[in-house]
């Protein structure tokens, strides 16, 4: 077989049944091999960015790497946002890109010229900052070795994307590699029983222990282990934004989500705990707040982290660091808990956290008076959603409101626009839906502004009848930016809505032009009826919900603008709208009685 055929055979061998493709001249032999596959199903998108985003979504649900095939030049540059998204959100995507002949690629790089031929770009320099590793397949006899390493790197350690660059002259070359290739041996880090036992003893003996659960709980396939861990040790849990579905919202141990748009309860807990165990979170500023030294400053912090680059956090002192795989840590921990009866008893502390959560809910009575708003929309959808549903929210206010409001049911998966926070993130739902093997819905929230960033994928959804229930939050543009500009005294706002000149077209006309089903709601009294109808419909549906354009996302960390143009950051425990100091101190003192 030739190299292109070997690549396709290897992808099939990895158990991957779906790939995202945009064809091109520098990938002709790969396209020919793909066309002969009897096992792969293909989605042909209308842009390379959503091709990679679709592969990203496929990876997050299937548990296998997501795979995309594109050509060189502008096709490759179009993938950058999708690859950067997968990189910062730790999603194992393998991008195959065609390229000019190997001699041209080598000349271009050896001579450091800008371009050898039409469409040529320096794929290596473009991909290296947004991948775990870039590979140039420059020898047909190394195809098996490179594929094994690339897939192992994508899946291993902290997952992430890789790029395999295949010049067209190599694609067509004969390949004599053994099949399957020799497995790649990745480096590993192991914990000792003594390390894990020490952490367990610290947690057991703490008066107010707390767990910060991030996306790494899911990435390490540790949901059940994690549940056993916090229940046996009797420890409350707060989530980072990306760790939203690591614990059901009806668990007595769930305190809330923390960060720039968090719960008051989770911030109270973070600022009064005496031990904070950080699992699967790299402590991004949208988790800790931008005054990072203030985050849980009173607590003894223990970090379990597989990425060596994340072991020292700028401005956030960590007293204990354990480097290694979170799944292995939790396996050892649960085994030790059972063997040595290290059962915790922190019921009074758990009750204090529950009380905070119950008395400071996200949903306020004002959201049910007056205009229809995003909080009410998400509340109704979360009430109607089933236990097997998959939920995704694009960036901006949709992301923040879903991250605050969504009540995670056992079995649900919830994805929000993470580290990159890209407008157009909603296209990731292509892969979520196509990898979904349950009978649940894929529910997507996107603002009318973000929708336009990948609007061409309506054609992909219609052509493939991808069963996405798309709720378009229609608020005349960029509501979250409007709120931010207003908070920093940029008045009138600039470039945020239709009146400023932002081109937001008629969603109904666009949807119907693409051949998709459309419905809408602009009355609060009809909202539940509309949502129920949408979720019961077969196939893809676009539902536009007209909401207040000036909604404030609350509570949130909000800096205070000083007259001199500088900003003052409030304490982490006092979210906006700010509590009276007397009330705040009274709440914080409740922890001291534990």
Task: Assess whether 242 and 311 both reside in one domain.
Answer: yes
pLDDT at 59: 98
Judgement on whether residues 341 and 453 belong to the same structural domain of the protein = no
State whether 295 and 279 are in the same domain.
yes
Check pLDDT > 90 for residue 238: yes
In a domain, 134, yes or no: yes
Same domain flag for 470 and 428: yes
pLDDT band at 479 (very low <50, low <70, confident <90, very high): confident
pLDDT given for residue 546 in this prediction? 96
> At residue 315, does pLDDT exceed 80?
no
H or E stretch covering 56: helix 48-62
Q: Do residues 432 and 531 both lie within one domain?
A: yes
Alpha-carbon torsion angle 202, 327, 412, 446, nearest 10: 100
Q: Say what the pLDDT of residue 175 is.
A: 96
* H/E run at residue 413: strand 413-416
More confident residue, 269 or 477: 269
Q: Which of these ranges, 311-315, 326-330, 518-522, has the smallest mean pLDDT? A: 311-315
pLDDT over 90 (residue 477): no
Is the domain of 369 the same as that of 355? Answer: no
- 323 with 465, same domain: the answer is no
Among 35-44, 159-168, 304-313, 320-329, name the one with the lowest average pLDDT. Answer: 304-313
The pLDDT tens digits for 365-374 are 999 988 899 9
| pLDDT at 497 (0 to 100) | 85
CATH code of 285's domain: 3.40.50.1220
- Model confidence, pTM: 0.95
pLDDT at res. 566: 74
Residue 487: pLDDT above 80? no
The answer to the question of residue 353 being in a domain is: yes
pLDDT level of residue 290 (50, 70, 90 thresholds): confident
Query: Is the predicted pLDDT of residue 402 greater than 90, yes or no?
Result: yes
Tell me the pLDDT band of 207, cut-offs 50, 70 and 90: very high
| pLDDT tens digits, 246-283 | 999 999 999 999 999 999 999 999 999 999 999 999 99
Looking at the fold, whether 392 and 333 belong to one and the same domain comes out as no
Read off the pLDDT of residues 445-474 as tens digits, 9 standing for 90 and up: 999 999 999 999 999 999 999 999 999 999
Q: Looking at 7-71, which runs of residues are DSSP E strands?
A: 18-21, 41-44, 66-70
Say whether both 235 and 167 belong to one domain: no
What is the structure's pLDDT at 420? 92
181 belongs to a structural domain: no
- Residue 575 domain flag: no
H/E stretch holding 210: strand 209-213
- The region of weakest confidence among 158-172, 180-194, 518-532 is 180-194
User: Across-strand partners of 446?
Assistant: 472
Residue 128 covered by a domain: yes
Q: What is residue 124's predicted lDDT score, i.e. its pLDDT?
A: 97
SS3 state at 324: coil
Shared-domain flag, residues 87 and 222: no
**Average pLDDT value for the chain:** 94
Q: What does the pLDDT read at residue 392?
A: 98
User: How many domains does the chain contain in total?
Assistant: 3
Domain boundary among 546, 561, 588: 546
Residue 478: per-residue pLDDT: 84
Q: Which domain holds residue 532?
A: 365-546
pLDDT greater than 80 at residue 568: no
133 within domain boundaries: yes
pLDDT, tens digit, 9 for 90 and up, residues 239-249: 999 999 999 99
Last residue of a domain, one of 140, 171, 202: 171
Q: Is the pLDDT of residue 406 over 90?
A: yes
CA distance readout (Å), 184 to 145, 149, 180, 249, 295: 8, 5, 11, 40, 40
pLDDT at 188 over 80: no
The yes-or-no verdict on residue 493 having pLDDT over 90 is: no
Q: What pLDDT was estimated at residue 494? A: 87
Same domain, 469 and 386: yes
Alpha-carbon span 546 to 372, nearest angstrom: 7
In the prediction, which pLDDT does 149 show? 97
Are 419 and 448 contained in the same domain?
Answer: yes
Chosen domain end from 118, 141, 171 = 171
Q: What is the pLDDT of residue 540?
A: 97
Q: The domain that contains 106 carries what CATH number? A: 3.40.50.970
What is the rounded distance in angstroms from the CA atom of residue 520 to the CA atom of residue 545?
6
Q: What tokens does 141 get?
A: 């006899």
Of the chain, the percentage scoring pLDDT greater than 70 comes to 100
More confident residue, 396 or 148: 148
299, 276 Cβ separation under 8 angstroms: yes
What pLDDT is attached to residue 184?
92
Is residue 472 assigned to a domain? yes
pLDDT band at 414 (very low <50, low <70, confident <90, very high): very high
Q: Residue 96: inside a domain, yes or no?
A: yes
Q: Rounded mean pLDDT of 89-107?
A: 96
Cα angle vertex 364, ends 379, 469, to 5°? Answer: 15
């Amino acid at each position: 077989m030739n190299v292109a055929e070997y690549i396709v055979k290897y992808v099939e061998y990895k158990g991957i049944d779906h790939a995202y493709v945009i064809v091109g001249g520098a990938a002709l032999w790969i396209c020919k091999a793909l066309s002969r596959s009897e096992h792969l199903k293909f989605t042909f998108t209308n842009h390379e960015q959503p091709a990679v985003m679709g592969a990203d979504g496929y990876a997050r649900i299937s548990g296998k790497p997501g795979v995309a095939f594109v050509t060189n030049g502008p096709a490759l540059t179009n993938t950058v946002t999708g690859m950067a998204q997968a990189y910062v959100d730790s999603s194992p995507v393998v991008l195959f890109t065609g390229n000019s002949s190997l001699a041209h690629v080598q000349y271009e790089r050896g001579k450091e010229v800008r371009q050898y031929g039409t469409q040529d770009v320096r794929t290596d320099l473009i991909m290296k900052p947004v991948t775990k590793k870039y590979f140039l397949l420059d020898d047909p006899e190394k195809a098996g070795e490179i594929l094994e390493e690339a897939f192992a790197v994508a899946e291993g350690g902290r997952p992430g994307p890789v790029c395999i660059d295949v010049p067209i002259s190599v694609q067509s070359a004969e390949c004599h590699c053994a099949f399957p290739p020799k497995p790649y041996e990745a480096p590993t880090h192991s914990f000792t029983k003594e390390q894990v036992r020490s952490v367990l003893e610290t947690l057991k003996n703490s008066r107010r222990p707390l767990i910060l659960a991030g996306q790494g709980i899911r990435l390490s396939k540790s949901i059940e282990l994690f549940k056993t861990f916090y229940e046996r040790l009797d420890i409350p849990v707060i989530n980072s934004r990306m760790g939203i579905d690591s614990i059901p919202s009806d668990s007595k141990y769930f305190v809330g989500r923390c960060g720039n748009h968090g719960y008051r309860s989770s911030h109270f807990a973070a600022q009064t705990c005496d031990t904070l165990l950080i699992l699967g979170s790299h402590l991004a500023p949208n988790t800790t707040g931008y005054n990072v030294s203030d985050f849980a400053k009173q607590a003894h912090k223990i970090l379990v982290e597989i990425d060596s680059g994340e072991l020292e956090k700028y401005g956030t002192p960590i007293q204990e660091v354990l480097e290694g795989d979170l799944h292995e840590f939790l396996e050892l921990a649960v085994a030790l808990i059972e063997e040595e009866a290290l059962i915790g008893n922190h019921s009074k502390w758990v009750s204090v956290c529950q009380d905070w959560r119950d008395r400071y809910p996200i949903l306020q009575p004002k959201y049910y008076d007056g205009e229809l708003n995003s909080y009410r929309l998400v509340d109704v959808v979360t009430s109607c959603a089933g236990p097997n549903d998959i939920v995704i929210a694009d960036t901006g206010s949709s992301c923040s409101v879903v991250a605050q409001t969504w009540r995670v049911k056992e079995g649900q998966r919830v994805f929000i626009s993470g580290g990159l926070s890209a407008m157009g993130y909603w296209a990731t739902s292509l892969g979520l839906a196509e990898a979904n093997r349950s009978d649940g819905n894929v529910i997507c929230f996107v603002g009318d502004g973000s929708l336009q960033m990948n609007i061409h994928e309506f054609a992909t959804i219609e052509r493939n009848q991808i069963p996405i229930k798309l709720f378009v939050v229609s608020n005349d543009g960029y509501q979250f930016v409007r709120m931010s500009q207003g908070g920093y005294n940029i008045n009138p706002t600039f470039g945020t809505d239709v009146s400023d000149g932002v081109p937001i077209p008629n969603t109904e006309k666009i949807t119907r032009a693409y051949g998709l089903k459309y419905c809408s709601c602009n009355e609060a009294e009809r909202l539940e009826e509309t949502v129920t109808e949408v979720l019961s419909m077969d196939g893809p549906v676009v539902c536009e919900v007209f909401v207040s354009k000036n909604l404030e996302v609350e509570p949130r960390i909000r800096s205070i603008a000083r007259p001199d143009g500088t900003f003052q950051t409030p304490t982490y425990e006092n979210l906006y709208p700010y509590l009276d100091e007397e009330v705040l101190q009274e709440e914080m003192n409740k922890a001291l009685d534990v």
